[in-house]
Amino acid sequence: MGLTLSYRLAIFDLDGTLYRGEEPIPHAVEAVARLRSEGVGIRYLTNNSSQTRAFYRDKLRRMGFEADESEISSSATGTAAYLTSEGFKTAFVVGMPGLIATLRSAGLEVVNESSQGHALAAGPQAEVVVAGICLDFTYALMAAAMNQIRCGAKFVATNPDATFPLEGGRFTPGAGSIVAAIQTCSGVEPFVVGKPNPYLIQLILGEANCSPADALVIGDRMDTDIESGTRAGCATHLVLTGVETQAPQGQASSPDLRGL
Protein backbone atom coordinates (compact mmCIF):
# COMPACT_ATOMS: atom_id res chain seq x y z
CA MET A 1 0.00 0.00 0.00
CA GLY A 2 1.39 3.39 -0.95
CA LEU A 3 1.82 6.30 1.41
CA THR A 4 -1.02 8.23 -0.25
CA LEU A 5 -3.48 5.47 0.64
CA SER A 6 -2.15 5.15 4.19
CA TYR A 7 -1.77 8.72 5.48
CA ARG A 8 -3.41 12.11 4.99
CA LEU A 9 -0.54 14.05 6.53
CA ALA A 10 3.27 13.82 6.54
CA ILE A 11 5.07 15.75 9.30
CA PHE A 12 8.72 16.33 8.41
CA ASP A 13 11.53 17.29 10.75
CA LEU A 14 13.95 19.79 9.16
CA ASP A 15 17.56 19.62 10.43
CA GLY A 16 19.03 16.27 9.42
CA THR A 17 15.88 15.16 7.61
CA LEU A 18 15.39 17.72 4.81
CA TYR A 19 18.65 19.64 5.08
CA ARG A 20 21.94 20.00 6.90
CA GLY A 21 22.82 23.63 7.47
CA GLU A 22 22.39 25.32 4.09
CA GLU A 23 22.48 22.12 2.03
CA PRO A 24 19.35 20.15 1.10
CA ILE A 25 19.79 16.44 1.72
CA PRO A 26 19.90 14.47 -1.52
CA HIS A 27 16.47 13.29 -2.74
CA ALA A 28 14.58 15.24 -0.05
CA VAL A 29 13.10 17.89 -2.37
CA GLU A 30 11.89 15.22 -4.79
CA ALA A 31 10.39 13.07 -2.02
CA VAL A 32 8.35 15.92 -0.53
CA ALA A 33 7.17 17.05 -3.98
CA ARG A 34 6.08 13.51 -4.82
CA LEU A 35 3.97 13.23 -1.68
CA ARG A 36 2.30 16.56 -2.46
CA SER A 37 1.50 15.38 -5.97
CA GLU A 38 -0.11 12.27 -4.49
CA GLY A 39 -2.40 14.37 -2.29
CA VAL A 40 -0.60 13.98 1.05
CA GLY A 41 -0.69 17.09 3.24
CA ILE A 42 2.76 18.40 4.21
CA ARG A 43 3.79 19.96 7.51
CA TYR A 44 7.28 21.01 8.58
CA LEU A 45 8.25 20.75 12.24
CA THR A 46 11.57 21.79 13.72
CA ASN A 47 12.80 21.71 17.30
CA ASN A 48 15.08 24.63 16.42
CA SER A 49 13.73 27.76 18.15
CA SER A 50 16.19 30.26 16.69
CA GLN A 51 14.16 31.58 13.75
CA THR A 52 10.69 32.71 12.71
CA ARG A 53 8.24 30.88 10.49
CA ALA A 54 9.02 33.32 7.68
CA PHE A 55 12.72 32.49 7.92
CA TYR A 56 12.08 28.75 7.59
CA ARG A 57 9.66 29.33 4.72
CA ASP A 58 12.29 31.30 2.81
CA LYS A 59 15.03 28.80 3.59
CA LEU A 60 12.95 25.86 2.40
CA ARG A 61 11.97 27.68 -0.78
CA ARG A 62 15.61 28.57 -1.55
CA MET A 63 16.42 24.88 -1.42
CA GLY A 64 13.56 23.97 -3.76
CA PHE A 65 10.86 22.86 -1.31
CA GLU A 66 7.34 24.19 -1.69
CA ALA A 67 6.49 25.77 1.64
CA ASP A 68 4.01 28.17 3.19
CA GLU A 69 4.18 29.74 6.65
CA SER A 70 0.96 27.96 7.61
CA GLU A 71 2.72 24.63 7.05
CA ILE A 72 5.63 25.42 9.40
CA SER A 73 5.79 24.84 13.15
CA SER A 74 8.74 25.11 15.51
CA SER A 75 9.52 24.85 19.18
CA ALA A 76 9.36 28.67 19.17
CA THR A 77 5.79 28.78 17.83
CA GLY A 78 4.85 25.93 20.15
CA THR A 79 6.37 27.72 23.13
CA ALA A 80 4.39 30.86 22.28
CA ALA A 81 1.21 28.78 22.09
CA TYR A 82 1.96 27.06 25.39
CA LEU A 83 2.78 30.27 27.27
CA THR A 84 -0.37 32.05 26.08
CA SER A 85 -2.53 29.00 26.90
CA GLU A 86 -1.08 29.03 30.43
CA GLY A 87 -1.77 32.74 30.86
CA PHE A 88 1.84 33.96 31.01
CA LYS A 89 2.37 37.56 29.95
CA THR A 90 6.07 38.27 30.69
CA ALA A 91 9.14 36.20 29.81
CA PHE A 92 12.89 36.36 30.36
CA VAL A 93 14.40 34.75 27.28
CA VAL A 94 17.66 32.90 26.79
CA GLY A 95 17.50 32.55 23.04
CA MET A 96 17.87 34.06 19.61
CA PRO A 97 16.05 37.06 18.05
CA GLY A 98 13.76 34.68 16.14
CA LEU A 99 12.46 33.20 19.40
CA ILE A 100 12.03 36.67 20.92
CA ALA A 101 10.14 37.90 17.85
CA THR A 102 7.90 34.81 17.85
CA LEU A 103 6.97 35.28 21.52
CA ARG A 104 6.41 39.00 21.02
CA SER A 105 4.14 38.36 18.02
CA ALA A 106 1.99 36.18 20.29
CA GLY A 107 1.50 39.11 22.66
CA LEU A 108 4.14 38.23 25.27
CA GLU A 109 6.42 40.86 26.78
CA VAL A 110 10.11 39.87 26.70
CA VAL A 111 11.58 41.72 29.67
CA ASN A 112 15.23 41.40 28.59
CA GLU A 113 14.92 42.30 24.89
CA SER A 114 17.46 44.78 23.56
CA SER A 115 16.59 47.50 21.05
CA GLN A 116 18.05 45.19 18.36
CA GLY A 117 15.90 42.24 19.44
CA HIS A 118 18.62 40.29 21.26
CA ALA A 119 18.52 38.77 24.75
CA LEU A 120 20.14 40.92 27.44
CA ALA A 121 21.62 39.51 30.64
CA ALA A 122 19.39 41.76 32.76
CA GLY A 123 15.74 42.64 33.08
CA PRO A 124 12.88 42.99 35.55
CA GLN A 125 11.39 39.91 37.15
CA ALA A 126 9.33 37.85 34.70
CA GLU A 127 6.71 35.16 35.16
CA VAL A 128 8.65 32.60 33.13
CA VAL A 129 12.17 31.93 31.86
CA VAL A 130 12.27 30.54 28.33
CA ALA A 131 15.49 28.83 27.22
CA GLY A 132 16.36 27.72 23.71
CA ILE A 133 19.33 27.66 21.39
CA CYS A 134 21.35 30.82 22.01
CA LEU A 135 24.53 31.56 20.08
CA ASP A 136 25.05 34.60 22.32
CA PHE A 137 24.93 32.50 25.51
CA THR A 138 27.14 33.86 28.29
CA TYR A 139 27.81 33.19 31.94
CA ALA A 140 26.01 36.45 32.77
CA LEU A 141 22.91 35.38 30.84
CA MET A 142 22.93 32.01 32.61
CA ALA A 143 23.26 33.74 35.98
CA ALA A 144 20.40 36.12 35.22
CA ALA A 145 18.14 33.23 34.16
CA MET A 146 19.08 31.31 37.31
CA ASN A 147 18.16 34.24 39.54
CA GLN A 148 14.87 34.76 37.71
CA ILE A 149 13.96 31.14 38.42
CA ARG A 150 15.17 31.27 42.02
CA CYS A 151 12.97 34.33 42.52
CA GLY A 152 9.87 32.49 41.36
CA ALA A 153 9.81 32.42 37.55
CA LYS A 154 8.65 29.18 35.97
CA PHE A 155 11.18 27.46 33.71
CA VAL A 156 10.24 26.45 30.16
CA ALA A 157 12.60 24.94 27.57
CA THR A 158 11.92 25.08 23.85
CA ASN A 159 13.60 21.72 23.26
CA PRO A 160 16.20 19.34 24.71
CA ASP A 161 18.34 18.58 21.63
CA ALA A 162 21.96 18.08 22.68
CA THR A 163 23.22 18.73 19.13
CA PHE A 164 22.00 19.46 15.64
CA PRO A 165 23.59 18.52 12.31
CA LEU A 166 25.44 20.84 9.92
CA GLU A 167 26.95 20.51 6.45
CA GLY A 168 29.78 18.07 5.83
CA GLY A 169 28.73 15.66 8.55
CA ARG A 170 29.49 18.14 11.34
CA PHE A 171 27.44 18.82 14.48
CA THR A 172 27.04 21.81 16.77
CA PRO A 173 25.72 22.05 20.36
CA GLY A 174 21.95 22.34 20.62
CA ALA A 175 19.52 23.98 23.00
CA GLY A 176 19.68 21.03 25.38
CA SER A 177 23.21 22.01 26.35
CA ILE A 178 22.04 25.49 27.40
CA VAL A 179 18.92 24.18 29.12
CA ALA A 180 21.04 21.72 31.11
CA ALA A 181 23.32 24.51 32.32
CA ILE A 182 20.40 26.60 33.59
CA GLN A 183 18.73 23.56 35.14
CA THR A 184 21.94 22.67 36.98
CA CYS A 185 22.46 26.08 38.56
CA SER A 186 18.79 26.80 39.27
CA GLY A 187 17.97 23.34 40.60
CA VAL A 188 14.69 23.39 38.66
CA GLU A 189 13.68 21.00 35.89
CA PRO A 190 11.95 22.80 33.00
CA PHE A 191 8.75 22.03 31.19
CA VAL A 192 9.93 21.04 27.70
CA VAL A 193 7.65 22.16 24.85
CA GLY A 194 9.45 20.59 21.89
CA LYS A 195 10.07 17.03 20.84
CA PRO A 196 10.05 14.43 22.45
CA ASN A 197 6.99 16.02 24.06
CA PRO A 198 4.12 15.22 21.63
CA TYR A 199 2.68 18.72 22.23
CA LEU A 200 3.90 20.21 18.92
CA ILE A 201 2.59 17.28 16.90
CA GLN A 202 -0.74 17.47 18.72
CA LEU A 203 -0.98 21.17 17.81
CA ILE A 204 -0.34 20.33 14.14
CA LEU A 205 -2.91 17.53 14.14
CA GLY A 206 -5.48 19.86 15.64
CA GLU A 207 -4.78 22.60 13.09
CA ALA A 208 -4.98 20.08 10.24
CA ASN A 209 -8.07 18.35 11.68
CA CYS A 210 -6.20 15.08 11.29
CA SER A 211 -6.29 12.04 13.57
CA PRO A 212 -2.98 10.53 14.77
CA ALA A 213 -3.73 7.35 12.83
CA ASP A 214 -3.78 9.37 9.59
CA ALA A 215 -0.40 11.05 10.11
CA LEU A 216 3.18 9.93 9.55
CA VAL A 217 6.06 11.60 11.42
CA ILE A 218 9.45 11.55 9.64
CA GLY A 219 12.74 12.45 11.31
CA ASP A 220 16.39 11.62 11.90
CA ARG A 221 16.44 11.31 15.71
CA MET A 222 14.98 8.47 17.74
CA ASP A 223 15.01 10.42 21.02
CA THR A 224 13.05 13.42 19.74
CA ASP A 225 11.41 13.03 16.32
CA ILE A 226 10.43 9.37 16.56
CA GLU A 227 9.67 9.46 20.28
CA SER A 228 7.31 12.43 19.92
CA GLY A 229 5.51 10.84 16.99
CA THR A 230 5.06 7.60 18.88
CA ARG A 231 3.81 9.41 21.98
CA ALA A 232 1.33 11.33 19.82
CA GLY A 233 -0.04 8.04 18.48
CA CYS A 234 1.33 8.47 14.95
CA ALA A 235 3.26 6.10 12.73
CA THR A 236 6.93 7.06 12.37
CA HIS A 237 9.72 6.74 9.82
CA LEU A 238 13.42 7.21 10.60
CA VAL A 239 15.91 8.43 7.99
CA LEU A 240 19.64 7.92 8.46
CA THR A 241 20.66 11.28 7.03
CA GLY A 242 21.19 13.18 10.28
CA VAL A 243 21.90 12.02 13.81
CA GLU A 244 21.11 8.30 13.72
CA THR A 245 23.31 5.93 11.72
CA GLN A 246 21.38 2.75 12.49
CA ALA A 247 17.70 2.03 13.10
CA PRO A 248 16.55 -0.03 16.10
CA GLN A 249 14.92 -3.34 15.32
CA GLY A 250 11.27 -2.87 14.41
CA GLN A 251 11.57 0.83 13.54
CA ALA A 252 10.45 1.74 10.02
CA SER A 253 13.45 3.38 8.38
CA SER A 254 15.44 4.03 5.24
CA PRO A 255 18.85 5.48 4.33
CA ASP A 256 17.12 8.60 2.93
CA LEU A 257 13.68 9.88 2.00
CA ARG A 258 13.45 7.75 -1.12
CA GLY A 259 12.43 5.01 1.32
CA LEU A 260 9.04 6.63 1.77
- Residues with catalytic roles: 13, 15
- d(C-alpha 124, C-alpha 145), whole Å: 11
Q: Which residues does residue 92 pair with via DSSP β-bridges, in sequence order?
A: 129
Long-range contacts for 122-126 (Cβ within 8 Å, ≥24 apart)?
A: 123/92, 124/90, 125/151, 125/152, 125/153, 126/90, 126/91, 126/92, 126/153
Q: Are 82 and 75 in contact (CB under 8 A)?
A: no
DSSP 3-state of 1: coil
192 HSE (CA, 13 A, CB side): 19
DSSP 159-212: ---SEEE-GGG-EEE-HHHHHHHHHHHH--PPEE-STTSTHHHHHHHHHHT--G
